[in-house]
Amino acid sequence: MLLNDYMNEHFPQLILRPPLFYNGEIGIRFDLGSDNYYEENNYMQEVYQRAITLFESLHFQDEEIFIVVDVNDFGDSKTYKHKARIYSPYIRSRSLIYTLKHTEMPYIFPEDNEEGKCKTNRFTLQCKVSDVKYIPLLKALCNQDLGIQPNIIHMIYFINIKRKTIFHIYDDRGCDLLATSSESIRDIYFTYNDWILDYDRDEIDKVFK
């Protein structure tokens, strides 16, 4: 199955880029960490716990997913191929890495590419959730802006093929969840309602109430 075919069928109007929540029609934006950033020593533990809990609630071990990694190239085209190694520490089977698909695309933020020098390299891997060491992967995504190692600075999307959901951690502050149907994520909305980002709560509530 090709990612483009899947997206055209189930998310035909969606541009896969951040801020994902504002690009989709049905979604939830979650707050991953406490507001008391400087007061709580366990801030990152809370961020990790929420990210892992949400991921596990959305993705069962035997389910098929796409893991999509966008690597932006700002003019140095010699280095982007090495970025595919980002998968290696987090995929249990090396043979799966050989199924990795690469697409060179126009820069996903065209409004910031007036000179036309930038482009985006999209790497897509289809696998089962059980093939992924997702706990260290999620932690690395949460670490990206905090100088904590390991960290991943690239945009990564987890697309659940059967459930038709897209999960994206944008940094330690929060994550976005999109779906084709409000019913498919209604239980997530109610179970983790306290984690919903208050700034967008009114808009989110309208979808589910």
Query: Do 167 and 58 meet the contact criterion of CB atoms below 8 Å apart?
Result: yes
Its domain, for residue 179, covers 3-9+20-208
- In the prediction, which pLDDT does 42 show? 84
Domain count for the chain, please give it. Answer: 1
Contacts of residue 126, defined as CB under 8 A and 6 or more positions apart, other chains included, come to 1, 64, 65, 66, 99, 161
Mean pLDDT of 156-176: 97
**Confidence class for position 23, pLDDT limits 50, 70, 90:** very high
Does residue 43 lie within any of the structural domains? yes
Does residue 14 lie within any of the structural domains? no
- pLDDT, mean over the chain: 91
Q: For residue range 189-209, what is the model confidence (pLDDT) as tens digits?
A: 999 999 999 999 999 999 998
More confident site: 128 or 145 = 128
Does residue 108 lie within any of the structural domains? yes
**Confidence class for position 18, pLDDT limits 50, 70, 90:** very high
Query: Alpha-carbon torsion 89, 92, 97, 100, what sign?
Result: negative
Does residue 55 lie within any of the structural domains? yes
Q: For residue range 89-116, what is the model confidence (pLDDT) as tens digits?
A: 999 998 999 999 999 999 999 898 877 8
Q: For residue range 38-94, what is the model confidence (pLDDT) as tens digits?
A: 555 588 999 999 999 999 999 999 999 999 999 988 876 555 555 567 899 999 998
% pLDDT > 70, the chain: 92
**Confidence class for position 147, pLDDT limits 50, 70, 90:** confident
Query: Do 157 and 144 meet the contact criterion of CB atoms below 8 Å apart?
Result: no
Does residue 144 lie within any of the structural domains? yes
* Residue 141 reports pLDDT greater than 70: yes
Does residue 15 lie within any of the structural domains? no
User: DSSP E strands: which ranges in 34-78?
Assistant: 64-73
Query: Do 184 and 36 meet the contact criterion of CB atoms below 8 Å apart?
Result: no
Does residue 191 lie within any of the structural domains? yes
